[in-house]
Chains A and B, each alone.
Chain A
Amino acid sequence: MKHGLYQRIAVYATVALGGLTMVLPFVWMLSTSLKTTAQSMAFPPEWIPNPFVWENYTRITDYMPFFLFLYNSVKIAFFVVFGTLLTCSLAGYAFAKLRFPGRKPLFLLLLSTMMIPTQVTLIPVFVIMKYLGWINTHYALIVPAFFGSVFGTFLLRQFFLGIPNELEDAARIDGCTPWSIYWRIMLPLAKPSLATLAIFSFMGTWNDFMRPLIYLSDMTKMTLPVGLALLANHQDIRIPLIMAGALLSLLPILVLYVFGQKYFVRGIALTGMKG
């Protein structure tokens, strides 16, 4: 398909305008985060901070334990990703390649639970956590991941199905148990799929708001989104500080995104859902 010059310019302009709309809020966030309180409330708004108040970024820690929130977020996300990968890869491999009674109906049952929105199980799971004494602990957020995610199992099962059976048969003749096949052959092969699932569950956990909001009440245990929302609720907090905090909370995931784009894109393309 050929395009005339004007057409190309028009297309490029549209793309650029749309792209600008996409980044403008982030630029606005950055600009506001460097302003004085007074300048942040100038009308019409000014884009260039004058003076640049870099202290806004250091002053956040006066109002909230930012690095503690960051540590909590990283810690929870790490264990959740680890648990999800472990359980889902085991189950995904078993459902794809191992023969055992009840495999098909159980898998169907598992798949059908995908239709259950998390909000319906929210209250009973909260009650379970209450009886376990895990309210206001990170266990409430981490442990469920070790019991698998339907999406993750489904994703990895689909991947394992694509691996030819001959590979496994050969290993079996060599006397490998299903465990060593899983560990030595299947997992290394599944690296790209595991990376996709890892990124996907990392993103879900990092940005999760509702569950930490419900479970965590100690300031010292909160994750970034909840801590940030709490900070923003304070009546006498300044807008530039909130924007600085919001931007800082975005940084880790943005950096990860820039380096691991293709996994992000694949993860999203596979589910088509977020939020």
Chain B
Amino acid sequence: MHRLLTAALAGLLLVTAATAQKRQVKLMGWGDTTTMAKYAILEEAFEAANPDIDLVVEIMDATSYARKLPVMIASGTAPDLFEAGLERAASFGSYAEKGAYVDLMPLVERDGVNLDDWFPEVIASCYYDGVLYNLPKKLNSPACVHINLDLFDAAGIPYPTRDWTWDDALEMARAMTKDFDGDGRIDQWGMSWPLAQGVEPAIIRGWQWTRDEGRQINIDDPLFYESLQWMADLVHVEHVAPSLEETEGAGLPGYLLFTTGKVAIQSGGRWQTAIYKREVGDRFRWDTIWMPVKDLSEKRSYTIGTEAWGIYRGSKNIEDAWSVLKWLAGPGGSRVLAGMGGAIPAVRSVAASPDFLDQGPPSREGNRWWLEAMQHAVRPPREPHWTKVEQLMTQVLKLGWDGQRPFKELALELKPRIDEILQEKPRSTPQSMWAVALGGALVLVLVVGLLRHYGEEGDGRSLRERLRNRQIRQEALYGWLFIAPHLVGLFVFTIGAILASGYLSLTEWDLFGRPQWTGLGNYQRLWDDPIFWKTLYNTIYYAGLRVPLSIAFSLAVAILMNLKMRGILWWRVIYFVPAVSSSVAIALVWRWIYSKDFGLLNAFLDWFGLPAMSWLTSETLAMPSMIIMSVWWSVGTNMVIYLAALQGVPDQLYEAAEIDGAGAWHRFWHVTFPMITPTTFFLLILGTIGSLQIFDIFYVMTQGGPNFATTSLVMYIFQNAFEYLEMGYASAVAWVLFAIILVLSLIQMKFSQWVHYEGERE
């Protein structure tokens, strides 16, 4: 046994020594599980060539990545190498602005790296303010259409060419949309246009994002809303394409119908070719072409995105990170990536080689077009507030995609709101600390006063007199020692934090540099912020319905559970299961239950001959859906508390009532109900306080959509703080929440006794 232990220890040491020899470089990027698989191959290829470096890659979905990285940069925990979208202001520009990158030029010159290896326009966008910060990974474009050649053959329709129009596309789609078994449900769709395509149908027709030097968004241009409307109408008017809910509902990938051979024409990003290679295999033949235009005479343009990597300035291993970057961005890495499909190489020699061109599908011809499209590339604007603009557009335009409202109306409504964001000037007023100092002093005086006031009470002897006695002194010492950890927590993590939060709410701060004093500016902004009011309304709506419903249901359940029946204990266990389950697991399964086309709930409706409902995607239904789920979730909790209260009602009362000839209803209404009123009140207040803080399930199930219909106050705090890095504004919203909860707590305190003194030592 002893020997075994020694051997194990020695083995452990050896392993540690072996891994210590390898120097670790961490790289972070976004993507999906296909991306992970790609990186695994890249890692292997790299480590084969560089055995002394251990490359560790972490891939997140794009949204989480965009959310995490700024916080990581701000807190000095970013990985050695990380990916950025060069054209996106919220990505490359803002990282560079915050000094996140190492200047690559000295390294490039030292090692004689030839920048002409890459397409010149791509290298050009790797600069920020004249400094080279990134090297390109690949090019991408969302302006793609993937076609299932087998379905075209089966319908006897010639394949579309690069010169095809809306009318051609619609005609083809009509011919290939089929209900084979005649059950009224479409079995094969002509087309499918996932949300990710967004504004692309407008861009391809030459639409520009902004005008007036970036001060105005261009969405009131008919080119914009007409093109989007055409896409949405394919679903809601022409019925040749499945709804978003069918393609992307419940977190399904938008292309699933295509890879299972049920869609003939599927729009999608160039990056999807890699997924299709993996998923479709030999099941059918397919190719990739461009999106159609309304009129062939129209000027064309394409969104081309460049993904690139840079080295984190705070990296402890810049030299090894550079070795990795050099290889990944260079011909070596580029060739491996190209071979897996998806990427358009940024390295010229690779783009011209069979490693890219002949990895079909897509066909050699199709791939050539992509290189040509680069000549007509448009880049989304690099406005400082672009993240917010995009989020607002996604939320509001969702209603158009769902066919709930016409795009023209939405666009005109959105325009002033976006223009306001675009024209917003960063406020800067001199920082003044005196108000904070004053506030701090005031609180200090209050605390000391409180201590003195109560400290004198309840004890006749003076402090000094008491301290004279050794034993009393010892007891006091132990007392302070015992509460010391908690006191530190109280003064640092609670009182200190709340003061700091109050101070931050009077400033503007993005975690970099020092907070800028703005006085009541944040509260003013709050007052004028329609999204804030909407989130406040949502939160109150949610709490206002969830709490009473949950209380009513759980009281009913508790009364049933209180009956003396066989096996009732087991039922109690069952009713309580949701209450112990994690919110994320529950949110995930309910998201699936609520799915419009595959969900359990709509299956029940269907069973009764009722039409399917858009539980989570309709603006009016999303919140009620959340409430239903939350009631289900919280019934167990409230039931347990009610059970305890019901068991506390003395039997004599019931007996007396029965002798008086009271019926069951009468007994409930005149005996049970009054006796459990304190419990009901307790549940009402505490339930409301809890509901006002709701975050998890909204975050997982709807991300706050559609059109902010399920964004709660806490979600809004989270978004402002950790997505837009607006710590000041987020703190102001938090203080509003604080004020509401404070009022509720005071009501609660007034009507119940929390502090008991019996048995306490005097």
- A105-B455 in contact (CB<8A): yes
A203 CB contacts on chain B under 8 angstroms: 580
- A96-B489 in contact (CB<8A): no
- A111-B760 in contact (CB<8A): no
Choice from A99, A206, A272 contacting B476 with Cβ under 8 Å: A99
- B480-A100 in contact (CB<8A): yes
B584 CB contacts on chain A under 8 angstroms: 207, 209, 225-226, 228-229, 246, 249
**B72 on the interface (CB 8 Å rule)?**
yes
- B501-A265 in contact (CB<8A): no
- B485-A91 in contact (CB<8A): yes
Interface size on A, residues (CB 8 A): 130
Q: Least Cβ distance of A36 to chain B in Å?
A: 11
Residue in chain A with minimal CB distance to B448:
A105
Once the chains are docked, how many angstroms separate the CA of A78 from the CA of B453? 40
Once the chains are docked, how many angstroms separate the CA of A271 from the CA of B477? 32
Once the chains are docked, how many angstroms separate the CA of A115 from the CA of B746? 9
Residue in chain A with minimal CB distance to B745:
A115
Once the chains are docked, how many angstroms separate the CA of A269 from the CA of B458? 33
- B693-A119 in contact (CB<8A): yes
Residue in chain A with minimal CB distance to B590:
A25
- A274-B574 in contact (CB<8A): no
- B571-A15 in contact (CB<8A): yes
Q: Given A110-B486, A153-B486, A161-B758, decide whether A272 and B686 contact each other with a Cβ distance below 8 A.
A: yes
- B738-A147 in contact (CB<8A): no
Q: Least Cβ distance of A183 to chain B in Å?
A: 11
- B77-A44 in contact (CB<8A): no
B717 CB contacts on chain A under 8 angstroms: 119, 122
**A54 on the interface (CB 8 Å rule)?**
no
Residue in chain B with minimal CB distance to A233:
B61
**At the interface, is chain B mostly helix, strand, loop or mixed?**
helix
**A192 on the interface (CB 8 Å rule)?**
no
- B741-A117 in contact (CB<8A): yes
Residue in chain A with minimal CB distance to B257:
A41
Stretch at the interface among B122-130, B248-256, B422-430: B248-256
**B155 on the interface (CB 8 Å rule)?**
no
Stretch at the interface among B290-298, B328-336, B599-607: B599-607
**B460 on the interface (CB 8 Å rule)?**
no
Once the chains are docked, how many angstroms separate the CA of A121 from the CA of B495? 9
Q: Given A28-B600, A148-B486, A182-B482, decide whether A253 and B580 contact each other with a Cβ distance below 8 A.
A: yes
Residue in chain B with minimal CB distance to A41:
B598
Choice from A43, A87, A93 contacting B485 with Cβ under 8 Å: A87
Q: How many pairs, one residue from A and one from B, have CB atoms within 8 Å of each other in the complex? A: 386
Residue in chain B with minimal CB distance to A98:
B479
Residue in chain A with minimal CB distance to B489:
A147
- B730-A230 in contact (CB<8A): no
Which residues 654-702 of B have a CB within 8 angstroms of A? 654, 658, 682-683, 686-687, 689-696, 699-700
Once the chains are docked, how many angstroms separate the CA of A42 from the CA of B721? 41
- B482-A91 in contact (CB<8A): yes
Q: Which of A44, A122, A179 has the most CB of B within 10 A?
A: A122
Stretch at the interface among B31-39, B139-147, B198-206: B31-39
- B593-A28 in contact (CB<8A): yes
Q: Given A97-B761, A116-B738, decide whether A234 and B454 contact each other with a Cβ distance below 8 A.
A: no
- B737-A235 in contact (CB<8A): no
**B64 on the interface (CB 8 Å rule)?**
yes
Choice from B72, B450, B494, B640 contacting A113 with Cβ under 8 Å: B494
**A237 on the interface (CB 8 Å rule)?**
yes
A177 CB contacts on chain B under 8 angstroms: 474, 478
Q: Least Cβ distance of B626 to chain A in Å?
A: 12
- B588-A274 in contact (CB<8A): no
**B520 on the interface (CB 8 Å rule)?**
no
- B579-A268 in contact (CB<8A): yes
Residue in chain A with minimal CB distance to B578:
A22
Once the chains are docked, how many angstroms separate the CA of A209 from the CA of B455? 40
Once the chains are docked, how many angstroms separate the CA of A184 from the CA of B751? 39
24 CB < 8 A contacts A-B: A15-B565, A18-B560, A22-B635, A26-B577, A44-B606, A45-B598, A63-B33, A91-B482, A97-B761, A98-B478, A100-B475, A106-B483, A110-B486, A119-B734, A120-B734, A126-B721, A130-B75, A133-B76, A209-B695, A214-B722, A230-B64, A239-B251, A257-B577, A275-B696
Interface residues of A, Cβ cutoff 8 Å to B: 1, 3, 8, 11-12, 14-16, 18-19, 21-26, 28-29, 32, 37-38, 40-45, 62-63, 86-88, 90-91, 93-106, 108-111, 113-130, 133, 135-136, 144, 146-148, 153, 158, 161-162, 165, 177-179, 182, 203, 206-207, 209-210, 213-214, 217-220, 224-226, 228-230, 232-237, 239, 242-243, 246-247, 249-250, 253-254, 257-258, 261, 264-265, 268-269, 271-275
Top 4 A-B residue pairs of the complex, sorted by shortest distance between their CB atoms: A147-B489, A100-B479, A148-B486, A94-B482
